[in-house]
Amino acid sequence: MATPKEMFHAKRAEVLIKNLTARHFGACYCATKEEALQKALSLIPEGSKVGWGGAMSAQEIGLLDALEAGNWNAVGRNTDGGVDVFITGANGLSLDGQMVNIDGLGNRVSAIIYGPKTVVVIAGMNKVMDTLEAAVQRARTVAAPINVQRLQKETPCAKTGVCYDCKHEDCICNHIVITRHSRPVGRIQFVLVGEDLGF
Ligand code: SF4
């Protein structure tokens, strides 16, 4: 029997999928990392050229290793727009079906916006906030300061874990992108996972 937390995630995912679908995204829910891996692989035709960026959640479900070991042309961290499928994550999602991402150079968000035929977003339900405002807040005050630690930058948030809305030359919050619809229909596919993934 599902735990209360699993039931909570599944119920919220139902609401989110309805709203993502209304915005022309593809979306599905997987309760576990293992299910999510199989679902994500089914969305990526064998033989296709696959790149990724900002894909900690995809790494955590084993997707990047599986692509490198299998019958795909996995080109790794590649955001040049020349790939068939681009794998990424989300820094925040709102229950009404909008995605928030922060980027330093803009290469990741540019691949989400235009270029690859398909974008597959792997997102744990820990990324889902009640409102767009809260999703932006999450991206700026949780995802970005943790990414600064990963990237070993010297921004003010690196010292305290708190965002100071900085203008530091190392700032990674140069592009804050809200993706509110998918065009063409179904170009952006979400695999939502009922576990905490990424940051
Ligand atoms: S302090 Fe700067 S780099 Fe850190 S989260 Fe805030 S805006 Fe981004």
Residue nearest to atom 8 of ligand 1 (CA): 173
Model pLDDT, residue 77: 86
Over the stretch 24-58, which tens digit does the pLDDT of each residue have? Answer: 999 999 999 999 999 999 999 999 999 999 899 99
Q: Which CATH class is domain 4-193?
A: alpha beta
* Distance separating alpha carbons of residues 182 and 168, to the nearest angstrom: 33
Residue nearest to atom 3 of ligand 1 (CA): 171
* Distance separating alpha carbons of residues 105 and 87, to the nearest angstrom: 17
Which protein residues are within 6 Å of ligand 1, measured from CB? Answer: 140, 144-145, 148, 155-157, 163-166, 168, 171-173
Over the stretch 60-96, which tens digit does the pLDDT of each residue have? Answer: 999 999 999 999 999 988 666 689 999 999 999 999 9
Pocket test for ligand 1, best of 171, 174, 176 (most atoms within 8 A of CB): 171
Residue nearest to atom 1 of ligand 1 (CA): 163
Give me the residues paired with residue 74 across strands.
Answer: 50
Residue 1: band (very low, low, confident or very high) from pLDDT cuts 50, 70, 90: confident
171 Cα–ligand 1 center, Å: 6
Over the stretch 182-194, which tens digit does the pLDDT of each residue have? Answer: 999 999 999 999 9
Pocket test for ligand 1, best of 140, 150, 151, 159 (most atoms within 8 A of CB): 140
Say which residue, 1 or 189, is predicted with more confidence: 189
Please state the pTM of the whole predicted model. Answer: 0.96
Over the stretch 90-144, which tens digit does the pLDDT of each residue have? Answer: 999 999 999 999 999 999 999 999 999 999 999 999 999 999 999 999 999 999 9
Q: What is the mean pLDDT of the segment spanning 138-165?
A: 96
Q: What is the mean pLDDT of the segment spanning 3-24?
A: 97
